[in-house]
Amino acid sequence: MPETYAGLAKPRPSTEAPEIPILDVPRSYEVRTFGCQMNVHDSERITGLLETAGYFPAPEGTDPDLVVFNTCAVRENADNKLYGHLSQLVPQKERNKDFQVAVGGCLAQKDQDTILEKSPVVDVVFGTHNIGSLPVLLERARHNEEAEIEILESLETFPSALPTKRDQAYAGWVSISVGCNNTCTFCIVPSLRGKEEDRRPGEILAEIRALVDQGAVEVTLLGQNVNSYGVSFGDRQAFSKLLRACGEIEGLERVRFTSPHPAAFTDDVIDAMAETPNAVPQLHMPLQSGSDRVLREMRRSYRSRKFLGILEKVRERIPHAAITTDIIVGFPGETEEDFQDTMRVVEASRFSSAFTFQYSVRLGTPAGEREDQLPKAVVQERFERLLALQDRIAAEENAAIVGRTVELLVTANSGKKSGRTHRLSGRARDQRLVHFSVPEGAQAPRPGDFVTVPVTGAAAYHLISDPRADQYGLRRSRGGDAWEREQAASCGTGAPGKPGQVSLGMPAIPVGPAPVSGA
């Protein structure tokens, strides 16, 4: 039965693109993205909408006619970060009355009118459910010469129906669902993104095929809880079937997904990962805590024994799988014994990397209202101990790979030291970051091409490869062709590092606090 409100069936989000008003005079824009992969993907949609409407990326070193903030609300200081950025735009607003500022994303969904009250520079506020309304709201605000706000309480249009400008032609996100049905006590995402809405498998596969036709060689399936996919149409094995169907798409070389939930992770998904040729040997499995008592307080409906059992099954079927995780330190009421339980599970899990977070209060969540919040000094000290443990494990796991030959998908972004080391960067099939050199006289790859190289060195967060000429293999790919076409078409405007751009793929491994995942 469809979900009902006051006796009325809840409408399914539209799969039709909204009508987009076209500017009379082209205007420049910049999109600034904060937060998780969902926000990165939403920013691709925002960028696509704006360019369809006649906006163009602001040339480097110039003031844009429009700045859009796509915000995150999972951190305690998220609002301070936003208002700090907004205050810096006051002089530009005073110089140019036609300059516009829009704020969208999770913080906009949460704070709504507060943003307009606190910042006079804002012209448009839109939420997570109505991204497609942005061009209309901008035109309305310009015409009426007053701020516009539109926040919907349920999804208006599936993001896939909106035009998209992807950051890299050789890889892309594909949303399989939006929203979340879980009730984790630390997470504000369900109240901002709504209940889970699943796309039909045919729509997803059609989008993936279209991406591949355009040159993409890697796709990441994206959802707040991907392995609950199918709940809205009653198929408990829908996600594993979707993975297997991806394996039949010619030209698609790598399929990833993020993020699953341990409580709903089933053996059929493990089997699909092991048996689908382009499903990569990498899994992001959020732990959050190794203490069963804390997991219960978090309303995470699994316990440490089940979590470790999942990892054991994955490694049994996929021996070289790299497993990453999310961990929260300092959840309200966490004792030293609870923390030691987390340390024990981390030691046993042998994660290749971990996104470790210091708990911070989220107003509007059950955990945020508890009175047993831990002192900052206690949380910091535990956080540093956990970081030291995971750094050691990651370094040991990476050191074990030295001497192995790996295939890398070359990325557009090189490491911070690339100017000095002259190394390029790529991702192995298991998502490990590898900085590699090209032997003298060998052909350099393009982003989107593949290279095969031996691992010659290792650190906690990356691997190094300095191959001899006879150890270096280059496979030029459709992804590299697509990247080259994109560069030629943009005349360089899409160069890596341009302000306002978003990046695809898993984020770099953090060495400090980072936003909490909703998974």
Taking the CA of residue 459 as centre, how many other CA atoms within 13 Å lie in the half-sphere pointing to its CB? 8
Residue 180 marked in a binding site: yes
User: Residue 482: pLDDT band by 50, 70, 90 thresholds?
Assistant: very high
Report the phi/psi class of residue 61: left, alpha or beta, with left for phi > 0 and alpha for psi in -120 to 50.
left
Same domain flag for 128 and 211? no
**Per-residue pLDDT tens digits for 52-65:** 999 999 998 899 99
Query: What mean pLDDT comes out for the span 340-367?
Result: 94
Report the phi/psi class of residue 246: left, alpha or beta, with left for phi > 0 and alpha for psi in -120 to 50.
alpha
Reply yes or no on whether the pLDDT at 474 is more than 60.
Answer: yes
Same domain flag for 181 and 288? yes
447 contacts 463 by C-beta, under 8 angstroms: no
In a domain, 511, yes or no: no
**Per-residue pLDDT tens digits for 159-171:** 666 777 777 899 9
Same domain flag for 423 and 329? no
Same domain flag for 205 and 133? no
* Domain coverage including residue 439: 404-488
In a domain, 389, yes or no: yes
- Look up the pTM and report it: 0.80
Q: Which residue has the higher pLDDT, 357 or 513?
A: 357
Residue positions counted in the chain = 519
Task: Read off the CATH number of the domain in which 76 is found.
Answer: 3.40.50.12160
Give backbone dihedrals phi and psi of 306, rounded to 5 degrees, phi first: -65, -40
Residue 491 marked in a binding site: no
Same domain flag for 325 and 423? no
- Of 400, 431, 459, which residue sits at a domain end? 400
In a domain, 446, yes or no: yes
Same domain flag for 204 and 258? yes
Same domain flag for 219 and 271? yes
Reply yes or no on whether the pLDDT at 230 is more than 50.
Answer: yes
Angle between helices 37-52 and 134-144 (to 10 degrees): 60
Reply yes or no on whether the pLDDT at 400 is more than 70.
Answer: yes
Residue 36 marked in a binding site: yes
In a domain, 230, yes or no: yes
Strand partners for 424: 436
| Token representation of residue 222 | 């994206």
**Per-residue pLDDT tens digits for 250-291:** 999 999 999 899 999 999 999 999 999 999 999 999 999 999
- From CA 468, how far away is CA 470, in angstroms rounded? 5
In a domain, 512, yes or no: no
Return the pLDDT at 75: 64
| Token representation of residue 216 | 């993409």
Same domain flag for 118 and 186? no
Task: Read off the CATH number of the domain in which 199 is found.
Answer: 3.80.30.20
484 contacts 169 by C-beta, under 8 angstroms: no
- Of 381, 400, 419, which residue sits at a domain end? 400
**Tally of domains in the chain:** 3
Same domain flag for 124 and 238? no
419 contacts 455 by C-beta, under 8 angstroms: no
138 contacts 132 by C-beta, under 8 angstroms: no
User: Residue 17: pLDDT band by 50, 70, 90 thresholds?
Assistant: low
Same domain flag for 117 and 83? yes
With the CA atoms of 112, 72, 216 and 275 taken in that order, what torsion angle do they form, in degrees rounded to the nearest 10? -120
Gyration radius from the chain CA atoms: 23
| CA angle, 309 then 311 then 315, to 5° | 120
Q: Is 131 helix (H, G, I), strand (E, B) or coil?
A: helix
Per residue, what are the HEC states of 141-159? HHHHCCCEEECCCCCCECH
Same domain flag for 326 and 466? no
Same domain flag for 140 and 194? no
The H-or-E segment that residue 450 falls in is: strand 450-454
- From CA 508, how far away is CA 501, in angstroms rounded? 16
Residue 72 marked in a binding site: yes
* Of the candidates 199, 215, 198, 325, the residue with the CA atom closest to the CA atom of residue 262: 325
Task: Read off the CATH number of the domain in which 456 is found.
Answer: 2.40.50
220 contacts 256 by C-beta, under 8 angstroms: yes
Count of helix runs (H) and strand runs (E) in the chain = 16, 23
- Of 120, 150, 180, which residue sits at a domain end? 150
In a domain, 499, yes or no: no
| Token representation of residue 87 | 């205050």
In a domain, 3, yes or no: no
- From CA 297, how far away is CA 184, in angstroms rounded? 9
In a domain, 501, yes or no: no
Give backbone dihedrals phi and psi of 496, rounded to 5 degrees, phi first: -55, 145
